[in-house]
């Protein structure tokens, strides 16, 4: 993969070494001799080779997608430098942090990470601490959105409809706090003395089987398949007892059997928000590999999902209003994708919000929704960068701006 498709900054080892040894003032002078990047594109590549199981790379963008995004940014006049490891990011920030704030490149957030509840907040947290603009929402919003149970509690608190459900924190609940995170009844999941097989469940009010069981902290349908639909308490116990410990905690919700919709929101608290039409999710029969929107469907080996923009107007208006309400309440910034599903009676329920939605022009639903309603691919990325630069002027970056080392003159 070429960094920035020839328009990025490719400093030699000597140049890097020289830049590292200069002072802040010298760097500003030296920067006139080369064009610093305007965008640092940090991406987790699906093709990355290392000691990482493939399933943990499920959410990572393909190299072809990142190449396409990098080329588009370059065609827009941005100078792009690609970074793919934490070590590269640290070394690069050490150089460009000495540039004037207005000259610092935007950290373009395409990181997903794995096995950490903070994984989607690491880039915005680092950017805020060290004083770099970044795309996407801040660390707080990213952490809330990654935790499906915390998200549904937040959504319920502001009036969005959520399906009855509760949280199972571990396969072995001995010694845990007896409170579940059920919206309907916080004390609904009572622990028994010894093992999961002996565990007693006092189900939340309005909860009924069949139920859908999903990891509370994963994306791209990781750990989800047809087996995640359970029809009674016995099946639920069996599923939990056989589930990998790494996927706990699990969120258990009443299974919704109706149509699923996805909707995209773009904007920020300072610039306002725009919302797209709602796309109805369809799994094409010829390519379908399972009857749920699960891990096999979301793999990059086969892509049977497509969207149809035929949502009834009254329902669509409700989904748009409620999606905007959630984004405004949470204070999202940049791209947000929200998923909704209907029950058997056609009532809509909020499922989740993704604040690092895929931006691939080949398979991601966010750009499809955006193109349907708000603008073309170039407009999408221009808006993402504009929001990032505008957000950089807000108060949350004051700490990195004001907390700087003063060099005292010696007399």
* CA 128/CA 130 separation, integer angstroms: 6
DSSP secondary-structure letter at 239?
Answer: H
At 59 the pLDDT is 83
CB proximity list for 377: less than 8 A, separation 6 or greater: 72, 361, 367, 371
* CA 240/CA 20 separation, integer angstroms: 52
Percent of the chain's residues with pLDDT above 90: 66
* CA 90/CA 88 separation, integer angstroms: 6
Question: Predicted confidence band at 26 (pLDDT cuts at 50, 70, 90)?
Answer: low
Question: CB burial class (10 A; 0-12, 13-18, 19+) of residue 150?
Answer: middle
- Sequence length of the chain is 411
CA distances from 126 to 93, 120, 122, 133, 265 (A): 10, 11, 6, 10, 24
* CA 165/CA 152 separation, integer angstroms: 10
Q: For residue range 329-356, list pLDDT tens digits in order.
A: 999 999 999 999 999 999 999 999 999 9
Q: For residue range 30-62, list pLDDT tens digits in order.
A: 545 678 999 999 999 999 988 888 878 878 899
pLDDT value at 83 more than 60: yes
* CA 218/CA 325 separation, integer angstroms: 24
User: Which residues in 204-313 belong to E strands, given as ranges?
Assistant: 211-215, 229-230, 250-254, 260-268, 272-275, 279-283, 305-308
Among the listed ranges 48-57, 133-142, 210-219, 299-308, which one has the minimum average pLDDT value? 299-308
At 9 the pLDDT is 42
Average pLDDT over residues 175-187: 42
pLDDT value at 284 more than 90: no
Question: Predicted confidence band at 171 (pLDDT cuts at 50, 70, 90)?
Answer: confident
DSSP lists the bridge partners of residue 133 as: none
Question: Predicted confidence band at 195 (pLDDT cuts at 50, 70, 90)?
Answer: very low
More reliable by pLDDT, 94 or 172:
94
Average pLDDT over residues 244-272: 96
Q: For residue range 392-404, list pLDDT tens digits in order.
A: 999 999 999 999 8
């Amino acid at each position: 993969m070429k960094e920035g498709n020839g328009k990025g900054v490719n400093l030699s080892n000597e140049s890097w070494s020289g830049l590292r040894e200069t002072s802040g003032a010298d760097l500003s002078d030296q920067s006139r001799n080369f064009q610093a990047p305007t965008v640092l594109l940090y991406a987790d590549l699906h093709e990355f080779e290392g000691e990482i199981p493939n399933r943990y790379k499920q959410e990572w963008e393909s190299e072809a997608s990142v190449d396409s995004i990098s080329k588009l940014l370059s065609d827009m006049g941005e100078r792009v430098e690609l970074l793919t490891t934490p070590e590269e990011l640290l070394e690069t920030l050490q150089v460009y942090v000495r540039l004037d704030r207005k000259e610092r490149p935007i950290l373009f957030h395409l990181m997903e990470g794995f096995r950490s509840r903070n994984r989607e907040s690491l880039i915005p947290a680092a950017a805020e601490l060290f004083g770099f603009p970044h795309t996407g929402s801040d660390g707080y919003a990213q952490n809330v959105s990654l935790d499906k149970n915390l998200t549904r509690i937040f959504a319920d608190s502001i009036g969005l409809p959520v399906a009855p459900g509760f949280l199972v924190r571990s396969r072995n609940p001995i010694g845990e706090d007896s409170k579940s995170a059920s919206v309907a009844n916080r004390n609904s999941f009572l622990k028994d003395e010894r093992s999961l097989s002996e565990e007693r469940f006092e189900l939340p009010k309005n909860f009924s089987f069949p139920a859908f069981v999903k990891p509370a902290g994963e994306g791209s349908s990781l750990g989800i398949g047809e087996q995640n639909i359970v029809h009674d308490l016995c099946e639920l116990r069996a599923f939990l007892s056989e589930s990998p410990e790494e996927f706990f905690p699990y969120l258990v919700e009443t299974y919704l059997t109706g149509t699923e919709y996805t909707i995209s929101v773009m904007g920020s608290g300072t610039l306002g928000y725009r919302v797209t039409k709602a796309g109805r999710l369809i799994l094409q029969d010829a390519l379908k590999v399972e009857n749920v929107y699960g891990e096999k469907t979301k793999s990059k080996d086969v892509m049977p999902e497509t969207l149809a923009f035929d949502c009834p107007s009254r329902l669509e208006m409700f989904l748009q209003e409620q999606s905007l309400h959630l984004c405004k309440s949470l204070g999202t910034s940049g791209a947000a994708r929200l998923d909704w599903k209907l029950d058997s009676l056609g009532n809509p329920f909020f499922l989740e919000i993704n604040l690092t939605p895929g931006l691939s022009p080949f398979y991601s639903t966010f750009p499809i929704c955006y193109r349907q309603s708000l603008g073309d691919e170039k407009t999408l990325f221009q808006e993402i960068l504009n929001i990032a630069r505008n957000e950089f002027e807000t108060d949350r970056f004051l700490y990195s701006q004001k907390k700087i080392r003063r060099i005292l003159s010696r007399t």
